[in-house]
């Protein structure tokens, strides 16, 4: 049970306060965060940066600022949750409309609580509007041993009669200290090219990163990092935040003309609004922030550590090597074909066999059958049982593809329940990939989905679900809900979460992979109820290098599924060495997605060896710390005992020099033995001069070096 210490906070706690000056200080191992209240009770940022003491942060709390002229707000760029109203001209993080039409909010501070629990401390600041029945609580959680600070907001309509319209309810605004320059790091993308890292000067004005698609999206991912233009992989200050949500979202980064930067983020997007009925509460998802004093590499390691401590359901497990049948068969699945693939997969060392799309209803193409989750008896005359039994007999776990949120209009489900899909009256229902989106915000629909999923998992002894979601929302209406239809933007995602949570609770052995036409739904929200994610349908190893670099900025290798597929690649037409394809996939959770029934004996033998090698290095890759060196083309994983260095040289010129790869994260006093050659290296030499790594001649060359501390 947490111990609630109202209006207290011991000096040893991660959270302390000065009640007279109304200053609070949050401390993490490498950072601290200070805030105060203005004379009008608005919460204001004082500090987000290196570790500071309470007196040092109190010294930052000067007298209230005054507007420099009649066109500026005094506190723009500094507020913890800029509300709509008063002399504020930046992006509002909280905008509501009361029943009488008033939109502005005026803060009135009610008090604070510091809660100490085993794994961290939480600060809660309680406010109400000065006049209207709206309670606002700001939460800050500091986790033991982590530099991540979690923030969220709880709103409550504390009145008895009238509802309050919510126009924007962000989870937090993060105020970045004033610097002479700013760079914004984030990712952009599209189907087949997710997680493309962009690091560009932050322009003055407002930069909006958003998804209006009802899912996280391939096009942007809900995190940002800011630096003063001087940070690198292993040096420089970086401020960042990531949002734990898998529906539509929006982060607005504002740089004002006097170079103050603030960013605010939350669920929903512009134009979407919903209501708080009397007595109702709304709790926003966490928008977590992290300050790194040591570059983007340290920031990424901080986020990976957070995912491990706080997000992933089974972080300690090593993920199995999987085989997925999609690229081999497309929709042409059959019991005999799957058994043949499974037999070959088991022989090369696969541990989890996943059957993809095409096993149910009349799903012989993407035009029909979605929604009809009964086994296709033409393809599996005795149901799934014989295949599952055979896969288990071969010593592998069995995984199955599902897409619960979707329906093809050509399906029995749609013919029976045409009113279950997102739609507007008098508007066409736009199809994408010949499918429509089921409205999971409607409890009848989400109960139906949970019902067939739990039955399928239980009856068929399914060990792993690949949960796919293959189209963006459109015509997101809910005609039966005349009072609050936009609520579906939030409640759909919440229902997906609830189903996943219930499935996990009822089937503790079940593991889930999040997929959305590749990487359309990867975020800290879905990672909290899945075990791994599918970053892209583009499995071309050369393209994957970039996708994986972008992915790794925030998300850990232990959750990143990566398949080895066929030559030439089906998207890019590129031919690459089998070893290169393996090495690229071995930097995450290795899987095979090629048509192994057409691989030669030589290729299968190579695959068997490389899978065995992966199983040896897997604890280091999946549980070690990641160091990237994009310039050297290297990616490295480090645990106390072992280090694995990957080097990739997709192409090069004759005579081009390849400097030694400097190995990071080692002890300069330590000695490290190359596990393949037996050569012993000094830690200092590896750190300072680097390691000569010989690569095969030709394009798409790569190598792995395993070092063990002695
Ligand atoms: C999209 C996924 O990303 C693919 O891996 C595959 O599962 C297809 N859907 C199946 O329809």
Ligand 1 within 6 A of CB of 518: yes
Contact residues for 448 (Cβ-Cβ < 8 A; gap 6+): none
| pLDDT of 599 | 97
Ligand 1 within 6 A of CB of 561: no
Q: Are residues 539 and 416 part of one domain?
A: yes
Q: Which atom of ligand 1 is nearest to the CA of 366?
A: 11
What is the Å distance from ligand 1's center to 105 Cα?
Answer: 46
Q: Are residues 305 and 327 part of one domain?
A: no
Residue listed under structure tokens 């295949």? 387
Whether residue 208 is contained in a domain is answered as yes
What is the Å distance from ligand 1's center to 326 Cα?
Answer: 7
What is the Å distance from ligand 1's center to 457 Cα?
Answer: 20
Q: Are residues 241 and 223 part of one domain?
A: yes
Of the residues 147, 357, 468, 540, only one is catalytic, namely: 468
Element (H, E) at 60: none
Contact 79, 263 (CB under 8 A): no
Ligand 1 within 6 A of CB of 326: yes
Whether residue 248 is contained in a domain is answered as yes
- Average pLDDT (299-321) is 97
Atom 10 (ligand 1) nearest CA = 357
| pLDDT of 7 | 37
Ligand 1 within 6 A of CB of 537: yes
- Average pLDDT (472-487) is 96
pLDDT digits (tens, 9 = 90+) for 656-669: 888 999 999 999 99
| pLDDT of 5 | 37
Q: Of 283, 311, 339, at which residue does a domain stop?
A: 311
Q: Of 290, 311, 332, at which residue does a domain stop?
A: 311
Instruction: Compute the distance between CA of residue 487 and CA of residue 268 in angstroms, rounded to an integer.
Output: 10
| pLDDT of 652 | 87
Residue 490 domain boundaries: 322-623
Mean pLDDT for all residues in the chain: 96
Q: Which atom of ligand 1 is nearest to the CA of 401?
A: 7
Sheet holding 43-49, edge to edge: 15-18, 23-28, 31-37, 43-49
| pLDDT of 12 | 55
Q: Are residues 215 and 271 part of one domain?
A: yes
Whether residue 298 is contained in a domain is answered as yes
Ligand 1 within 6 A of CB of 327: no
Ligand 1 within 6 A of CB of 194: no
What is the Å distance from ligand 1's center to 584 Cα?
Answer: 21
Whether residue 3 is contained in a domain is answered as no
Atom 1 (ligand 1) nearest CA = 517
Ligand 1 within 6 A of CB of 637: no
Residue 204 has pLDDT above 60, yes or no: yes
Atom 4 (ligand 1) nearest CA = 517
What is the Å distance from ligand 1's center to 349 Cα?
Answer: 24
Contact 391, 342 (CB under 8 A): yes
pLDDT digits (tens, 9 = 90+) for 139-189: 999 999 999 999 999 999 999 999 999 999 999 999 999 999 999 999 999
| pLDDT of 11 | 45
| pLDDT of 654 | 85
Instruction: Compute the distance between CA of residue 677 and CA of residue 675 in angstroms, rounded to an integer.
Output: 6
What is the Å distance from ligand 1's center to 330 Cα?
Answer: 9
Domain CATH code at residue 658: 2.60.40.1180
Q: Of 279, 311, 343, at which residue does a domain stop?
A: 311
What is the Å distance from ligand 1's center to 468 Cα?
Answer: 7
Whether residue 5 is contained in a domain is answered as no
Ligand 1 within 6 A of CB of 147: no
Q: Are residues 490 and 458 part of one domain?
A: yes
Ligand 1 within 6 A of CB of 401: yes
Q: Are residues 85 and 19 part of one domain?
A: yes
Q: Are residues 209 and 80 part of one domain?
A: yes
563-568: long-range contacts, CB 8 A cutoff, minimum separation 24: 563/324, 563/327, 563/539, 563/591, 563/592, 563/593, 563/594, 564/539, 564/590, 564/591, 564/592, 564/593, 564/594, 564/607, 565/327, 565/539, 565/592, 565/593, 565/594, 566/327, 566/594, 566/595, 566/598
What is the Å distance from ligand 1's center to 517 Cα?
Answer: 5
Q: Which of 329, 537, 544, 591 to mutate to test the pocket of ligand 1 (most atoms within 8 A of CB)?
A: 537
Q: Are residues 288 and 195 part of one domain?
A: yes
Tell me what percent of the residues of the chain surpass a pLDDT of 90: 95
Atom 5 (ligand 1) nearest CA = 537
Domain CATH code at residue 256: 2.70.98.60
Q: Are residues 569 and 698 part of one domain?
A: no
Whether residue 639 is contained in a domain is answered as yes
Split into its structural domains, the chain has a count of 3
Q: Which atom of ligand 1 is nearest to the CA of 517?
A: 3
pLDDT digits (tens, 9 = 90+) for 412-443: 999 999 999 999 999 999 999 999 999 999 99
Q: Are residues 552 and 677 part of one domain?
A: no
Instruction: Compute the distance between CA of residue 216 and CA of residue 269 in angstroms, rounded to an integer.
Output: 12
Q: Quick check: is 64 catalytic?
A: no
| pLDDT of 4 | 34
Of the residues 75, 357, 537, 543, only one is catalytic, namely: 537
Domain CATH code at residue 515: 3.20.20.70
Ligand 1 within 6 A of CB of 588: no
What's the token pair of residue 629? 């060196």
Atom 11 (ligand 1) nearest CA = 357
Q: Quick check: is 537 catalytic?
A: yes
What is the Å distance from ligand 1's center to 617 Cα?
Answer: 28
Whether residue 121 is contained in a domain is answered as yes
What's the token pair of residue 37? 């209240």
Residue 2 has pLDDT above 50, yes or no: no
| pLDDT of 662 | 95
Q: Which of 360, 470, 521 to mutate to test the pocket of ligand 1 (most atoms within 8 A of CB)?
A: 470
- Which has the closest alpha carbon to 351: 315, 399, 401? 399
pLDDT digits (tens, 9 = 90+) for 208-229: 999 999 999 999 999 999 999 9
Residue 621 has pLDDT above 50, yes or no: yes
pLDDT digits (tens, 9 = 90+) for 330-350: 999 999 999 999 999 999 999
Q: Are residues 346 and 303 part of one domain?
A: no
Contact residues for 305 (Cβ-Cβ < 8 A; gap 6+): 146
Atom 9 (ligand 1) nearest CA = 517
Instruction: Compute the distance between CA of residue 572 and CA of residue 540 in angstroms, rounded to an integer.
Output: 7
- Average pLDDT (41-45) is 98
Q: Are residues 559 and 494 part of one domain?
A: yes
Distance of CA 299 to the CA centre of its chain: 15
Confidence of residue 6 (pLDDT cuts 50, 70, 90): very low
| pLDDT of 470 | 98
Instruction: Compute the distance between CA of residue 628 and CA of residue 663 in angstroms, rounded to an integer.
Output: 10
Q: Which of 402, 468, 513, 522 to mutate to test the pocket of ligand 1 (most atoms within 8 A of CB)?
A: 468
Whether residue 9 is contained in a domain is answered as no
Q: What is the pTM of this model?
A: 0.97
């Amino acid at each position: 049970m947490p111990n609630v210490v109202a209006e207290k906070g011991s000096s040893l706690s991660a959270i302390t306060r000065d009640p007279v000056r109304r200053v609070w200080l949050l401390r993490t191992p490498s950072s601290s965060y200070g805030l105060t209240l203005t004379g009008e009770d608005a919460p204001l940022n004082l500090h987000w940066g290196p570790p500071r003491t309470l007196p040092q942060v109190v010294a930052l709390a000067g007298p209230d600022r005054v507007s420099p002229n009649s066109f500026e707000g005094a506190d723009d760029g500094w507020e913890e949750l800029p509300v709509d109203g008063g002399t504020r001209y930046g992006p509002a993080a909280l905008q509501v409309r009361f029943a009488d039409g008033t939109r502005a909010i005026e803060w009135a501070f009610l008090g604070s609580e510091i809660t100490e629990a085993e794994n961290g401390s939480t600060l809660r600041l309680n406010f109400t509007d000065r006049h209207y029945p709206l309670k606002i609580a700001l939460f800050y959680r500091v986790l033991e041993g982590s530099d991540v600070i979690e923030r969220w907001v709880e709103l409550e309509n504390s009145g008895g009669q009238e509802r309050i319209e919510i126009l924007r309810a962000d989870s937090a605004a993060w105020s970045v200290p004033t610097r002479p320059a700013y760079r914004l790091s984030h990712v952009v993308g599209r189907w087949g090219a997710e997680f493309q890292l962009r690091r560009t000067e932050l322009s003055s004005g407002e930069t909006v990163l958003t998804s209006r698609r009802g899912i996280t999206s391939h096009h942007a991912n809900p995190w940002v990092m800011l630096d003063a233009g001087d940070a690198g992989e292993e040096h420089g200050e970086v401020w960042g935040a990531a949002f734990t949500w898998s529906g539509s979202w929006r982060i607005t980064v504002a740089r004002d003309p006097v170079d103050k930067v603030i960013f605010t983020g939350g669920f929903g997007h512009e134009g979407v609004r919903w209501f708080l009925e009397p007595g109702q509460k709304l709790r926003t998802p966490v928008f977590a922030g992290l300050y790194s004093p040591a570059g983007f590499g340290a920031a990424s390691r901080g986020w990976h550590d957070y995912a491990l401590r706080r997000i992933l359901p089974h972080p300690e497990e090593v993920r199995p090597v999987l085989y997925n049948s999609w690229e081999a068969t497309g929709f042409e699945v059959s019991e005999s074909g799957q058994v043949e693939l499974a037999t070959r997969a088991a022989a090369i060392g696969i541990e989890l066999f996943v059957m993809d799309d095409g096993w149910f209803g009349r799903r012989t193409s993407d035009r029909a059958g979605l929604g009809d989750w009964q086994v296709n008896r033409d393809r599996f005359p005795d149901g799934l049982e014989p295949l599952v039994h055979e896969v288990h007999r071969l010593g592998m776990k069995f995984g199955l593809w599902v897409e619960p949120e979707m329906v093809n209009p050509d399906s029995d489900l749609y013919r029976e329940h045409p009113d279950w899909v997102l739609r507007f009256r008098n508007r066409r229902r736009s199809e994408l990939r010949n499918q429509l989106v089921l409205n999971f915000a409607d409890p009848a629909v989400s109960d139906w989905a949970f019902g067939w999923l739990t039955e399928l998992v239980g009856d068929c002894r399914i060990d792993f679900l690949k949960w796919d979601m293959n189209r963006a929302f459109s015509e997101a209406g809910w005609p039966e809900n005349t009072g609050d239809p936009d609520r579906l933007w939030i409640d759909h995602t919440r229902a997906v979460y609830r189903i996943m949570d219930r499935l996990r609770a009822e089937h503790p052995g079940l593991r889930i992979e999040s997929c959305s036409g590749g990487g359309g739904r990867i975020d800290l929200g879905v990672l909290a109820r899945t075990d791994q994610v599918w970053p892209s349908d583009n499995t071309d190893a050369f393209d994957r290098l970039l996708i994986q670099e972008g992915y790794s900025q925030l998300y850990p290798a232990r959750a990143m599924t990566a398949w080895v597929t066929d030559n030439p690649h089906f998207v890019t037409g590129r031919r690459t060495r089998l070893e290169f394809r393996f090495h690229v996939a071995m930097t995450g959770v290795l899987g095979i997605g090629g048509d192994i029934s057409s691989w030669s004996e030589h290729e299968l033998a190579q695959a068997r060896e490389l899978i065995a090698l992966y199983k040896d290095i897997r604890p280091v890759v999946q549980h070690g710390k990641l160091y990237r060196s994009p310039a050297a083309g290297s990616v490295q994983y480090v645990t106390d005992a072992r280090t694995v260095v990957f080097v990739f040289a997709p192409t090069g010129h004759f005579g081009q020099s390849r400097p030694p790869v400097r190995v990071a994260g080692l002890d300069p006093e330590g000695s490290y033995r190359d596990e393949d050659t037996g050569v012993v290296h000094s830690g200092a030499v590896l750190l300072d001069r680097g390691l000569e790594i010989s690569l095969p001649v030709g394009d798409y060359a790569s190598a792995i070096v395993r070092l063990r501390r002695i």
